[in-house]
Amino acid sequence: MKFLISNDDGVYALGLLALYQALSTIGEVVVVAPNSEQSGFSSALSVTTPLHTHQLPSGFIAVNGSPADCIYLALHELYQDTHFDCVITGINSGANLGQDVMFSGTFGAALTAQLSGIPAIATSLVGAGSKGEEHVGHYQIAANEIVKLLKETSILDICKNLPYHVLNVNIPDVDKADEIKGRKITSLGHRQVAHPVQHIVDPRGRDAYWLSLRKSKHKLLETKTEHQSRDVPLSVVKLTDDQAVTAGYISLSPVRLHHTPVASLDKLSALVL
């Protein structure tokens, strides 16, 4: 198998290296990633400035652009004659749960691959770096779980038959692999952002603003849908991604893009334009 991988944390990120090492045990891996952190860039493309590449001693290719730029450039120029079985992005430092996928560069890069007809998986390590430090071993555990997913299931074959879908994978940040309870197919959840904008005054007396997607803290599993109850075993409960991860499971969320619901078309068609 041949994999193309990228991320939004930059070409030197621990998660990218762990993913590369793990995937190299089951196939050929090509790395094209931003030369610096590009979190929050979604699927933005650089169409007003040129891109430059730099090959590192590791063989990784660094690009002065967004995660989507990296995938777009790799597929349409750098490796245009290479057939990739899958594009995998990450492993992101921190969660990409619920509405985060709209802003995530990790997810945006995977989306760019899917728009080119290549199966795409976006991966994230939930909780990584939340205490100001990252552990190499935790990323290795997460990377090994991704490889096991590819080897033990037919997920890649299924993804190949789901056009315009990205599989969004969130893995709990644990000290030991056996702390992960298993895998769950989930839907995207939604949580309120605790402090969307933080206003500060810089040293020159100017107003400045930090934008944040950090979610409010609460017990996610206490928020149940109408189909859930405490009497239903967890194994058959339909979970959201944040609920599954909080319960200790790897969350697998299929996310479909470019979908126009028929019901919406029916409602809008009643308009007199």
Cα–Cα distance measured from residue 197 to residue 193, given in angstroms and rounded to the nearest whole number: 9
Q: For residue 120, give the 3-state DSSP assignment.
A: strand
- Rounded distance between C-alpha atoms, residue 94 and residue 20, angstroms: 18
**Token pair in block for residue 137:** 């071993």
Within a domain: 271 = no
Is 237 a residue whose pLDDT tops 60?
A: no
Nearest Cα residue to 258 out of 156, 120, 115: 115
Number of domains in the chain: 1
> Residue 55 forms beta bridges with which residues?
61
Segments forming the whole domain that contains residue 245: 2-187+233-263
Residue 226 has what pLDDT? 36
CA–CA separation, 138 and 183 (whole Å):
17
- Domain assignment of residue 249, yes or no: yes
Top pLDDT among 65 and 232 is at 65
Supply the pTM of this predicted model: 0.84
192, part of any domain: no
Q: What is the pLDDT of residue 134?
A: 74
Pairwise pLDDT comparison (11 vs 262), residue with the higher score: 11
pLDDT digits (tens, 9 = 90+) for 83-137: 999 999 999 999 999 888 888 999 999 999 999 999 999 999 998 766 556 789 9
* pLDDT category of residue 231 using cuts at 50, 70 and 90: very low
pLDDT over 60 at 228, yes or no: no
Express each pLDDT in 14-62 by its tens digit.
999 999 999 999 999 999 999 998 888 888 899 999 999 999 999 999 9
Asked whether residue 113 is assigned to any structural domain, the reply reads yes
> Which of the four pLDDT bands, split at 50, 70 and 90, describes residue 269?
confident
Q: Is residue 273 part of a domain?
A: no
Give domain status of residue 122, yes or no. Answer: yes
Q: For the segment 143-192, what is each residue's pLDDT rounded down to a tens digit? A: 999 999 999 999 999 999 998 899 999 999 999 999 999 999 998 887 77
Flag whether 37 is in a domain. Answer: yes
The pLDDT value recorded for residue 73 is 97
* CATH code at position 122: 3.40.1210.10
141 or 198: which carries more pLDDT confidence? 141
| Inside any domain, residue 194 | no
